[in-house]
Structure 1
Amino acid sequence: MIRPSAMLALSATLAASAAPALAQAAPPPVAGQSSGRSQISLEQRMLMRCSAAFALAHARRQSGEGAAARLPDPGPRGRDFFVRSAARVMDEAGLTREQIAAELAAEARDLARGDTLAQVMPACMGLLAPDIDRQ
């Protein structure tokens, strides 16, 4: 199992690089290296999609993008979801860190198109554990 600190580092890297990376075209696939897309189940893809949504929403909020203020804020629960989901998919599907990163980047690119991020955020927010401190 991957260490939570390593997944937090991956989360921070993805969030920090999401905005500029999304402006670029997707790189061509490397020979002999799969993104993992064909190796994961629908449930695992949903976990990756919501993880990417939380990271992208966080990156947009941090950059001060005006439209990001209208997105729900997943906060620390979103970060925890990202870490746990990436580790789970990595373990269940037998993917490498590079394949997980490629999967997350592909989802982030898709979410950055149009208003896709705003459309998926409500469903993804429903996957987060309740915040007990707010009661």
Structure 2
Amino acid sequence: MIKSLITLAALSAAVPLSAQGVEPAPALPALTMEQETTLRCGVAFALVQQSREAGDAGFQDYPELGQRGQEFFVRTMAQLMEQTGANRDAIAQLVMREAEALKGDPQAIEQVMPACLLMLEASGL
């Protein structure tokens, strides 16, 4: 699910809007600090899990996130849709923006994962 949402967002962003036959998406919703944090953690979990599965040695020290990380991601995205009124396309754009930010800074995932892992534990998942 996580991979498919990130893939969908990437594909949507790669195809010009005129070729998609749709109107430009409305402005992305403004997020609270809590919403930004849960989004960042959900995306970080997805990126870490993908990297672990790909055998990337730099990510093998992180715990297996599997079902727990996926459930956190799914619940976070559903919660963002409910709280902001954003549609799936807008949420996919937010996911892609966050994924690009995390991938663009080599230290970003390392910096956010300790707090994100605490948030995952606190979530009860």
Q: Tell me, yes or no, whether TM beats 0.5.
A: yes
| Per-residue deviation, residues 21-76 of structure 1 (Å, max 9, x unmatched) | 6xxxx76x96742462x422121111111110000001111111111112343332
Counterparts of 2:78 and 2:85, CA distance in 1: 10
Between the two proteins, the alignment pairs up a number of residues equal to: 115
Q: Which amino acid letter does the alignment assign opposite residue 50 of structure 1?
A: C
Q: Secondary structure at the match of 2:120?
A: coil
Counterparts of 1:35 and 1:59, CA distance in 2: 29
Structure 2 length-normalised TM: 0.76
Q: Which amino acid letter does the alignment assign opposite residue 31 of structure 2?
A: I
Counterparts of 1:52 and 1:91, CA distance in 2: 18
Unaligned runs of 5+ in 2: 18-22
Aligned match of 1:84 in 72, 75, 78?
A: 75
Q: Secondary structure at the match of 1:89?
A: helix
Counterparts of 1:56 and 1:106, CA distance in 2: 13
* Equivalent position of 2:120 in the other structure: 128
Aligned match of 1:74 in 62, 65, 70?
A: 65
* Equivalent position of 1:106 in the other structure: 97
Q: Secondary structure at the match of 2:119?
A: coil
Structure 1 length-normalised TM: 0.71
Moved over 4 A (4+): none
- Kept in 1: contact 2:39–2:95 (CA 8 A): yes
Aligned match of 2:45 in 50, 54, 60?
A: 54
Q: Which amino acid letter does the alignment assign opposite residue 85 of structure 2?
A: G
Counterparts of 1:35 and 1:60, CA distance in 2: 31
CA separation of 1:35 and 1:48: change in aligned 2, threshold 3 A: farther
Q: Secondary structure at the match of 1:47?
A: helix
Aligned match of 2:55 in 64, 89, 105?
A: 64
Q: Which amino acid letter does the alignment assign opposite residue 118 of structure 2?
A: G
Counterparts of 1:77 and 1:111, CA distance in 2: 20
Unaligned runs of 5+ in 1: 1-8
